[in-house]
Amino acid sequence: MKNRKTIFITDIILLLILVAIDRYTKYLAVLKLKDKPAYTIISGVLEFNYLENKGAAFGMLQNQKYFFIFIALIFLAVMTYVLVKCPNEKKYIKLHILLVFIASGAIGNLVDRFKFDYVVDFIFFSLINFPIFNVADIYVTVSTFVLVFLILFVYKDHDFYFLSFKEQKYREL
């Protein structure tokens, strides 16, 4: 298995690529969609529709910029701690990837909140009238869903020994 430094560098590179993709799609949304009518991709199903979201998911908690920044920083700190403590074993690669995707989404939306005081959203599933979202939201939502699935059905309690202060006890099992 790769050493800890190689895994950390890989995590950082993946994070930077994912944030860059999110930032670029938001840049394109501002450039091509702002102050323009929705752009239909699949009629009655999917369209690009520019929205400046000052709230959280589904527009909840409008104008709570500092609260969202605080929460995002807490989550990023926790994810960083888990990634640093995570053993460099093959079974934890999925955990690394999922946490990097979640962190990338959090950072992508955090940049928007710092830069604009809102998050640029632009993807709209009109078929089910789903709230408008962005690429960072996809990272967070899909990765969190997969992570919860893995924690419930794949990983076992002892797989997270590295998070315990009693780490040595679990290593002896």
pLDDT beyond 50 at 88: yes
According to DSSP, residue 37 is labeled -
Confidence band, pLDDT 50/70/90 cuts, at residue 129:
confident
Q: Which of the residues 11, 22, 112, 137 is marked catalytic?
A: 137
> Residue 11 — φ and ψ, nearest 5°?
-60, -45
When pLDDT is averaged across residues 100-128 and rounded to a whole number, the result is 93
Quick one: pLDDT at residue 172?
Answer: 47
71-30-27-134 Cα dihedral, nearest 10 degrees: 50
Confidence band, pLDDT 50/70/90 cuts, at residue 90:
confident
pLDDT beyond 80 at 161: no
Quick one: pLDDT at residue 160?
Answer: 75
Quick one: pLDDT at residue 170?
Answer: 47
pLDDT beyond 80 at 56: no
Question: Could you write out the DSSP letters of every residue in 51-74?
Answer: EEE-SSGGG-STT-HHHHHHHHHH
Distance CA 85, CA 107 (A): 21
Compute the half-sphere exposure of residue 78: CA atoms within 13 Å on the CB side of its CA. 8
pLDDT beyond 50 at 75: yes
Quick one: pLDDT at residue 107?
Answer: 95
Q: For residue 138, give every residue at least 6 positions away whose Cβ sits within 8 Å of its Cβ, in sequence order, or none.
A: 105, 123
Indicate if 35 belongs to the active site. Answer: no
Quick one: pLDDT at residue 69?
Answer: 79
Confidence band, pLDDT 50/70/90 cuts, at residue 165:
low
Q: Which of the residues 11, 121, 157, 159 is marked catalytic?
A: 121
User: Among 158, 128, 92, which Cα is nearest to 167's?
Assistant: 158
pLDDT beyond 50 at 45: yes
pLDDT beyond 80 at 14: yes
Q: Give the burial string for 96-120 (b: 16+ CB within 10 Å, else e).
A: bbbbbbbbbbbbbbbbbbeeeebbb
Residue 104 near residue 98 (C-beta atoms within 8 A): no
Whole-model pTM? 0.85
User: Among 63, 47, 57, which Cα is nearest to 106's?
Assistant: 57
Indicate if 22 belongs to the active site. Answer: no
